Structure formats: C-alpha cells, structure tokens
Amino acid sequence: MNFSEVFKLSSLLCKFSPDGKYLASCVQYRLVVRDANTLQIVQLYTCLDQIQHIEWSADSLFILCALYKRGLVQVWSLEQPEWHCKIDEGSAGLVASCWSPDGRHILNTTEFHLRITVWSLCTKSVSYIKYPKACQQGLAFTRDGRYLALAERRDCRDYVSIFVCSDWQLLRHFDTDTQDLAGIEWAPNGCVLAAWDSCLEYKVLLYSLDGRLLSTYCAYEWSLGIKSVAWSPSSQFLAVGSYDGKVRILNHVTWKMITEFGHPATINNPKIVVYKEAEKSPPLGLGRLAFPPPRAVTGPLSSPESKYEIAEVPVSLQTLKPAADRANPRIGVGALAFSPDNYFLATRNDNLPNAVWVWDVQKLRLFAVLEQLSAVRAFQWDPRQPRLAICTGGSKVYLWSPAGCVSVQVPGEGDFQVLSLCWHLSGDSLALLGKDHFCLCFLETEEGVSTAFGQRGDHT
C-alpha cells in the first residue's frame, strides 16, 4: 500500500471527478485540479473569496465553486480554462448550490429557502421554483437524471413536486401525510420515492413516479423516530435507521418489514466475528536510548500503530451515555451504507460510537463487528467490491473485507488526522482528508502510477 505526499486542503473540500480522471481540492480561495493518477496540477483557478462548496458536473467538464458568504457561484471549465461563469444571487443570498444531472444547469437555493433559482449555462435563461422546504434532504434527482423531486412547505403543510429536468416543467404535485417532512430519496431505479417524517414522528411514505401513495410504514409511536435512510443499490430494500438503535429492512414487493437488526452492547453469538483494535507495543530497546533525547524525539509523538485482534465472546462494546437535557442526543443508528454489490450493509449506532456493524443482506444476519479505539467518524464502501474504509479522526485508516481487516498507519511527519475519506471510482485509490491537508492512499500497484504514490514509502 502506497501513500502520496501531503497536500494542503481547506474545509475538507476534495472530490474526484465522475470520470475518475481528475481530483479537485480547495485551499482557501484557490481551486486546484490535479491528474488523479500522477497528482500533477492540471489547472489552478482563483475565486473571489473562500470556497465553501465544490461540485463536479456529471460529464466532468465543469466544476462549481460556491461562495455562500458572498452569495456567489463561480463555474470553471477544464476544456476552456479562460472561460468562466459567475452567478450572483444578490440580496437574496445563497445557502446551497448543486448541478442538475445534465451538467448545464445550476440550482441555487436562496437564504431562508425562499426559492430555488435554476440557471442555464447554455441559454443563460433563469427559472424559479417557489416554496422549497428547509430540511435535511429536500431535493433529489433520479439516477437517470430525468426527474427532480422537491420537498415544499406552503400553508403549513408539506408537499412534494416532481419536475421534468429537460424543461423544468411540473409533472406532479401532491401533499404528503407528514407533520414535518425531513427528507426524500429516489430508489436507484427511479420508480419509487421514499419520504420520511422528522424524528418526532416515525413515518416512512413510499410514492410512485405519478404521485400515488404505495405504502406507509410506522414502526412505533410516542418516541424519537427515524434517524437515517438508505436504499440498496438493487432498489429491493429500504433500510431505515431509528433512534431505538435498530435498522428495519423493508422489501420492495409489499413494503413490509422483513427483518430488523439490533445493536446490543454485548455480543454473545460465537458465530459473529468481532475485531477489536489494539495498540501494538513495540520493543523499547533501552540500551540504545540517548539521554537527553534528541530534539526530534522531544517533539509531538505520532500515535502508536495498531492491529486487529479477534475477540472471544461475550464481547462488551464501549457505550456512550447521551445527555438527556440536550438536543440531538447521540443515540440511534446515525449512519447506513449498502455495499455496491448489495451483499452487505454497514451501520453505526451512535451510542456505541466505536463500533461498525457489517450485516449480511442475503442471509439477513450479523456478519462482523469492528470495534475501534476511538469513535468512528466516517466509513465508505469501495465502489467496485465489498471493501469498507473507516476513519476515526486519528492517523490511521482501516479496511475491512469478508477476508478480514487491517489497520494502516498513514506515514509522514507529525500526526495526520484522517477526518473523512472518499474512494476513486475504480476502487484503486482512496483520498484521506484532514483538517488542513490530504493525501492519497493507493491500494494496488500499477505500472505508470506507482511513482506518484511512492514518495512517502509503503506500509501494509
């Protein structure tokens, strides 16, 4: 396993292009575009202020930079570096910006969610969509890019509007039976739209493309409800993570629950493999220590290396007692992700913060548990195979596959803290993002690209 040198970064803004050729990163007001293989700088763009959001167009030809403080969006072209576009929302302000799937329209949400402005890069025309709702996930495109679903709030009621992306004409408009609509998401096949209520009421509603209500699901009442939702890549399952610490799996035929996955603090089943991270204790070699120690040793020490050990059941996982008097308590299933082959589901229960749970979707059972020494910050599946990358805010990255798991120390001076990560679409490399820096982890050696990743040494 090879690592690149460390590059500067701001606000964790680092993204691979959809075609996998480029890697964009931000340093204050500068946008740096690198070749994803060699890491050589391809283009360098300068924005008018600090960049707060970046997004590639679907065809990887343009990149959007949002400057929310100024109410500005700047768009840059990779094919024509001298061309650029500036969109100013003026006094209306700006809180969100994204591409349409065709890569030629930009959707800007104004302050207080008064409207969404649709700007065309081709015709310079402008369209307006009124009443967008301020919620976690209020805007969703179908995977084929043909339709947009938008959560709306008007006259103290929740609605969903479905637009045709080719001309932004309204296709369907219907109200949802929700107290406070929290999010919407299309199934990957684009046939079903899932909508769910806020955490105060447990309710999932499933709609067809023409706005018909297919089913409503409620697991319980009078308690905090839904915290996370994820579709399986095949659209066959909808996983709903709840504040009661369980994941409920709904099937696509009857939309009834087929099973629920609990997250107990103690694991007793001997068939479950529990990997526990443990620190390696290197030999001290006292005879070779120098007194006083050299200056390099007296500086900040890097964190010790670690390894995984298979724990014997019963295993008690580290629990977190949530503060009962504060909003957004750290309880319940806060993260869900299906593997791209539909075989596995990874989850994190927020009051067992150090553990990642891997479930076998085909057999509907727990497959493995990974308990880290620190709280899990993020995890993401390899786009090509069932391989899960995990980070905990330390100087290591963790990889799990059905064959086992490994802890990898990120080499380099100082303590590089991995706060987030993102995969290249080939699954051959992984961007590790820190507060002020990022580097690339290259997982398989190939001719022609190993030179870019051999500068900080190998580590397996």
How do residues 51-93 score in pLDDT, each as one tens digit? 999 999 999 999 999 999 999 999 999 999 999 999 999 999 9
Peptide bond into 314 cis (omega under 30): yes
pLDDT value at residue 408: 95
Q: How many residues does the chain have?
A: 460
Q: What pLDDT, on a 0 to 100 scale, did the predictor assign at position 282? A: 65
pLDDT number for residue 254: 96
Q: What is the mean pLDDT of residues 413-441?
A: 94
Nearest to 138 by CA among 105, 181, 180, 104: 181
Supply φ then ψ for residue 36, to 5 degrees: -70, -20
pLDDT per residue over 295-308, tens digit each?
A: 443 334 457 889 99
Which residue type, as a one-letter code, is found at position 428? D
Per-residue pLDDT reduced to its tens digit, 121-175: 999 999 999 999 999 999 999 999 999 999 999 999 999 999 999 999 999 999 9
Q: Where are the beta strands (DSSP E) in 81-180?
A: 84-88, 96-99, 105-109, 115-120, 126-130, 139-141, 147-154, 157-164, 169-175
Rounded to 5 degrees, φ, ψ at 297 are -80, -30
Q: What is the mean pLDDT of the chain?
A: 92
Residue range 178-207, pLDDT digits in tens = 999 999 999 999 999 999 999 999 999 999
**What pLDDT is attached to residue 324?**
72
Q: What is the pLDDT of residues 244-272, one digit of tens each?
A: 999 999 999 999 999 999 999 999 999 99
Instruction: Reply yes or no on whether the pLDDT at 402 is more than 60.
Output: yes
What the block records as the tokens of 118 is: 């649709």
Angle at 218 between CA 212 and CA 220, to 5 degrees: 170
Per-residue model confidence (pLDDT) at position 414: 74
Burial of 318 by CB count in 10 Å (0-12 exposed, 13-18 middle, 19+ buried)? middle
Supply the pLDDT for residue 450.
36
More confident residue, 457 or 293: 293
What pLDDT does residue 302 have?
55
Q: What is the pLDDT of residue 249?
A: 98
Q: How confident is the model at residue 415 (pLDDT cuts 50, 70, 90)?
A: confident
Predicted confidence (pLDDT) per residue in 26-42, tens digit? 999 999 999 999 999 99
**Strand arrangement, sheet containing 139-141:** 139-141, 147-154, 157-164, 169-175
Identify whether the C-beta of residue 429 lies closer than 8 Å to the C-beta of residue 442. Answer: yes
CA dist 310 → 268, 277, 303, 314, 368 (Å): 14, 9, 22, 12, 10
Q: What does the alpha-carbon distance between residue 31 and residue 67 come to, in Å, rounded to a whole number? A: 12
62-92 as b/e: b if 16+ CB within 10 A: bbbbbbbebbbbbbbbbeeeeeeeebebeee
Question: How far is residue 28 from each of residues 9, 45, 65, 71, measured CA to CA in Å?
Answer: 8, 11, 12, 17
Q: What is the per-residue pLDDT for 305? A: 86
pLDDT value of residue 183: 98
Considering the chain, what percentage of its residues have pLDDT values greater than 70? 92
Determine the pLDDT at residue 459: 38
pLDDT at 455 over 70: no
